[in-house]
Amino acid sequence: MIEVGYKYRFFGEDAEIAARELGIYAHVDHNFVTASVPTYRLNVHVRRLVNVGYKVGVVKQTETAAIKSHGAKPLGPFSRGLSALYTKATLEAAEDMGSGEEEGCGSCSNYLICVVERESKECGVESGFDVRIGFVAVEISTGDVVHGEFNDNVMRAALEAVMMSLSPAEILIGEPISRQTEKLLIAYAGPTSNVRVERASRDCFKDGGALAEIMTSYENSDEDKFIDPHGQILEIPKPRKNHLGIEGIMAMPGLAVQALALTLRHLKQFGLERVLYLGASFRTFSSNIEMTLSANALQQLEVLKNNFDGSEAGSLLGAMKHTLTSFGSRLLRHWVTHPLCDRSSISARLDAVSEIAELMGTCALQNFDDANKQERSNANVKVNYLLSSVLISLGRSPDIQRGITRIFHRTATPTEFITVIHAILYAGKQLEQLEVGNRENNGEVQRVRTTLLKRLILTASSSTVVGHSAKLLSVLNKDAADKGDHENLFVVSDGEFPEVARARTSVQVAKGKLDLLIGLYRKQLGIRNLEFMSVSGSTHLIEVILYQYMLNLIINVKVSDSRFLV
């Protein structure tokens, strides 16, 4: 998609694809097939294209008409450059692409999975294995990183179970790869799945090259670089290295490390590789406390999809899913596909769910507004009210999990940042009111009993979470964020944000000079009400009306005025 004026244009085969997928008109212009969409609809059309499996590059103009007129080649074409790449797995974490909740994909996981393999040392008729497979799956919009390595048979049953459990949106194949493995992956990414497949060579990762490349990337990530308004690079050192991430990678098996290196290299072209530097987000696909269901079990038991039309309706997940939030829906999917096998963990989860059901009582969530008006003297009613308010608030808020990750990727808008932090603060303050001790009130027990639920409430309502959230919101101006007024976004007081204060002073000086210019232009053009205008992001434009007085005098006919943007 190439920015040309106030449109994004497609050319050649891309124009034919866009016309078919977007329902727009393609035509021949100067021997090129072309199609176009308006610039303000960019996010809509990009989302539609990536959702059907395409990789979309956006080429934007890197200079305006005003900048070009003062350049070395004022009459040449505008400079353009590739500004962003989008795929289904990276879209939700990308900048200026909005949220997918409107399209009904907010609760979906969009994993990018990288698969590599080598011939198994245990191969043979007796073992039943012929290859050893390693993989890394990354959910870029939530920060979840899953990895694993295992022996697999000629049917690739274990790999099929991984694919069905994670349901990746993109597959990165590390070549060379066997015909059986490639056949399964290509079959999963069939024409009706909209799953994108890309290939990458791992020949350069021999003799420890994969681990060396990862460690180099980790070392280079220890300092963040920013460019100030004067074009100077500012280096902001981190307080400490992420030793947790390095230790986790050192403990990973060899094939999984190769898959991680390929994934890291792949994500660098999108600018989203930082998600792989968080060691706390890494987890193994199989663990001692969870079961790993086979592909046959997932299919025959209709855990995720029914066997009639392949939809979620009628499946175990469909029957159990009554979640109010997108991140709750994703977590439930993981629980259903990875049931617990540790007895103590099962008991802890059942006890917590039973207590929530008991505390919520018979008061349904839809009657929350009526319950809010009633007097709450009973302890259980109070807990019911607090839990209901938290659940409903989180259900009405944007996807907090993805919002936090977008903040981490630095792609969140100011309004999104404030909304996410406010939701966290509200939930924390409400949960603070729940009693988690053994205190009794007027003879009635008013506390949370189960250990798991108590620990979760204490974590979400900790003084650290509530305090940091309140501090962040106290220095941000919500009204300015809603209006897109970045100049007044920060609340500058008590000497905080000196850089912002200096920048505001510079902006005010520049505005004063522009005000003097507009006064001069009013006198020169004889237009008293002349004002600066903004068109498609280009600011301080002047609209000049040129009346054709001479032509009117010659032919004695009134001619309508013509308008030009200068």
State the pLDDT at residue 178.
Answer: 93
State the pLDDT at residue 37.
Answer: 94
State the pLDDT at residue 398.
Answer: 86
Give the per-residue SS3 of 116-132: EEEECCCCCCCCCCCEE
- For residue 319, pLDDT over 90 is answered with yes
State the pLDDT at residue 546.
Answer: 52
pLDDT band at 54 (very low <50, low <70, confident <90, very high): very high
State the pLDDT at residue 374.
Answer: 47
The 3-state DSSP class for residue 563 equals strand
CA distance 267 to 247: 21
Cα three-residue angle 504-516-71, rounded to 5 degrees: 80
State the pLDDT at residue 98.
Answer: 66
State the pLDDT at residue 66.
Answer: 61
- For residue 11, pLDDT over 90 is answered with yes
State the pLDDT at residue 244.
Answer: 55
Residues of the chain above pLDDT 90, percent? 38
372: burial class by Cβ within 10 Å (0-12, 13-18, 19+)? exposed
Task: Summarize pLDDT for 356-391 with one digit per residue, the tens.
Answer: 888 776 444 444 444 444 444 455 677 788 888 888
Contact 260, 534 (CB under 8 A): no
β strands within 451-561, DSSP E: 532-535, 538-546
Task: Average the pLDDT over 234-245 and give the result.
Answer: 51
State the pLDDT at residue 71.
Answer: 63
Alpha helix segments (H runs only) across 221-308? 243-250, 254-268, 295-300
Task: Summarize pLDDT for 176-201 with one digit per residue, the tens.
Answer: 999 999 999 999 988 878 899 999 99
Contact 533, 542 (CB under 8 A): yes
Q: Which of 412, 451, 457, 455 is nearest to 431 (CA)?
A: 457
State the pLDDT at residue 197.
Answer: 93
Contact 276, 267 (CB under 8 A): yes
Containing H/E element for 80?
Answer: strand 80-86
The 3-state DSSP class for residue 463 equals helix
Task: Summarize pLDDT for 273-308 with one digit per residue, the tens.
Answer: 888 887 668 889 988 888 888 899 999 999 999 988
Q: Token pair of 414, please?
A: 């100011």
- For residue 108, pLDDT over 90 is answered with no
- The per-residue b/e assignment along 18-50, b for 16 or more CB within 10 angstroms, e otherwise, is bbeebeeebeeeeeebbbbbebeebebbbbbbb
Residues of the chain above pLDDT 70, percent? 79
CA distance 284 to 304: 21
- For residue 155, pLDDT over 80 is answered with yes
Contact 482, 490 (CB under 8 A): no
The 3-state DSSP class for residue 1 equals coil
Task: Average the pLDDT over 225-252 and give the result.
Answer: 56
Task: Average the pLDDT over 525-538 and give the result.
Answer: 77
Give the per-residue SS3 of 131-188: EEEEEEEEECCCCEEEEEEEEECCCCHHHHHHHHHHCCCEEEEEECCCHHHHHHHHHH
Task: Average the pLDDT over 520-530 and give the result.
Answer: 82
State the pLDDT at residue 545.
Answer: 58
Q: Token pair of 451, please?
A: 């250990």
Task: Average the pLDDT over 339-360 and give the result.
Answer: 89
Give the DSSP letter of residue 78: P
CA distance 566 to 399: 43
pLDDT band at 145 (very low <50, low <70, confident <90, very high): very high
Domains assigned to the chain: 2-86 (3.40.1170.10), 112-286 (3.30.420.110), 342-365+373-483 (no CATH)
State the pLDDT at residue 217.
Answer: 82
Contact 108, 304 (CB under 8 A): no
State the pLDDT at residue 245.
Answer: 65
> Among the listed ranges 254-263, 292-301, 359-368, 550-559, which one has the minimum average pLDDT value?
550-559
State the pLDDT at residue 111.
Answer: 94
Task: Average the pLDDT over 52-72 and give the result.
Answer: 77
- The per-residue b/e assignment along 217-229, b for 16 or more CB within 10 angstroms, e otherwise, is bbeebeeeeeeee
State the pLDDT at residue 472.
Answer: 92
- The per-residue b/e assignment along 414-439, b for 16 or more CB within 10 angstroms, e otherwise, is bebbbbbbbbbbbbbebbbebbbeee
440-to-277, 296, 447 alpha-carbon distances in Å = 46, 51, 8
Q: Token pair of 418, please?
A: 């404030």
Task: Average the pLDDT over 130-147 and give the result.
Answer: 92
Sign of CA dihedral 168, 266, 150, 219: negative
Q: Token pair of 366, please?
A: 């839809």
- 565 phi/psi in degrees, rounded to 5: -100, 125
CA distance 258 to 201: 11
CA distance 295 to 301: 10
Contact 32, 12 (CB under 8 A): yes
State the pLDDT at residue 275.
Answer: 85
- 468 phi/psi in degrees, rounded to 5: -65, -40
- 28 phi/psi in degrees, rounded to 5: -90, 125
Long-range contact pairs involving 338-341 (C-beta distance under 8 Å, separation at least 24): 338/165, 338/290, 338/291, 338/292, 338/293, 339/290, 339/291, 339/293, 340/289, 340/290, 340/291, 341/289, 341/290, 341/291
Q: What is the largest CA-CA distance in the chain?
A: 102
Contact 423, 394 (CB under 8 A): yes
Report the chain's C-alpha Rg in angstroms: 29
- For residue 246, pLDDT over 80 is answered with no
Average pLDDT taken over every residue of the chain:
81
Give the per-residue SS3 of 11-36: ECHHHHHHHHHHCCCCEEECCEEEEE
pLDDT band at 251 (very low <50, low <70, confident <90, very high): confident
Give the bridge partners for 223, in sequence order.
237
363-to-129, 334, 355, 380 alpha-carbon distances in Å = 55, 28, 15, 11
Of 72-81, 211-220, 545-554, the range with the highest mean pLDDT is 211-220
